[in-house]
Amino acid sequence: MEAYIGIDVGSVTTKFAVVDKDGELISHIYLLTQGKPVQMVQQGLTQIKQQLPKEVDICGVATTGSARYLAGVIVGADLVKNEITSHAVATLRHIPEVQTIVEIGGQDSKIIIIRDGIVTDFGMNTVCAAGTGSFLDHQALRLDMSIEEFANQALDSKTPVRIAGRCTVFAESDMIHKQQMGHHIKDILYGLCQALVRNYLNNVGLGKDIRPPVVFQGGVAFNRAIVKALQEELNTEIIVPPHHELMGAIGAALLAHEEMVSSNNGSKFKGFEASEEKYHISSFECKACPNLCEIAQISINGQVLARWGGRCDLWERSPSN
């Protein structure tokens, strides 16, 4: 059986998706990155191998996400793609009529505008955590509750409190102030969900032509209170697709299939044995120009396999530089 692997390595989670030649999802893994992208990619390879039947033939691999270049070197990717393309491809396969994709992850968020099946605009936020899942997780931890309990309590709110959500520091201070004033926790929690949605729309979605159907994906889409707040703010139905947390990886797998069919070449996939290699990650400052870019590099047994991270492709042209 032909199969294609998509790997989405983010700052918070690492996702693996395996699709067959018809693009149907046959296996997937969802892991916490824990600041160890190399180990998580290798762990994901091990777990995916255990899930797949022995007759599966891996015919192509693609990587995406913030650590896509690193993951690509480890597994021997045939294709390395940005998150915008990967998310759009997966969503269009499942919901062809989509016009707006809202994606909120652990530490970044994005919006993708699609017209007639083509990406026409997008926006990303990788700087401020106020509109991401990590901030919600932090507040749930501060209040000594799970993120599931957070969502359930927020959904019970009838009189939500307005929280200043433009900044994580101010939002937390405002939450504490509202608690001290005696407001119910459930009203504060749903107020925070509303603040997160406002922050997302005022920053990532600023100036974007948001039209339905609106598809909401990423890990934060598990939180039904955020889905409700987004629906109220946009005054339209919000579609949360199955496997919404895997859409980047699914899109990468679909792109790997497309690439291998069009190129008609053999896959560069290193095999599941790549999970046992000992890689070394380091970085240095490039002094070739005033930008002083930090260049990341991955090596094995002293041999540099790849470098990336500069504003130009000086170090990406040849690993032997």
pLDDT reported for residue 165? 64
Neighbouring C-beta atoms of residue 61, cutoff 10 Å: 29
Taking only the tens place, the pLDDT of each residue in 210-256 is 999 999 999 899 999 999 999 999 999 999 999 999 999 999 999 99
The fold adopted by the segment(s) 97-240 is Nucleotidyltransferase; domain 5 (3.30.420)
- Region 23-41 average pLDDT: 92
Domains 2-87+248-276 and 97-240 fall in the same CATH topology:
yes
The answer to whether residue 301 scores a pLDDT higher than 60 is yes
| Average pLDDT of the segment spanning 137-166 | 88
Residue 6: predicted pLDDT: 97
Grade residue 308 by pLDDT with cuts at 50, 70 and 90: confident
For the domain spanning 2-87+248-276, the CATH number is 3.30.420.40
pLDDT in tens, 103-130: 988 778 899 999 999 999 999 886 665 5
pLDDT at residue 74 in the model: 92
Residue 131 is predicted with a pLDDT of 61
Domain ranges of the chain: 2-87+248-276, 97-240, 278-321
Q: Beta-carbon neighbour count of residue 249 at 10 Å? A: 35
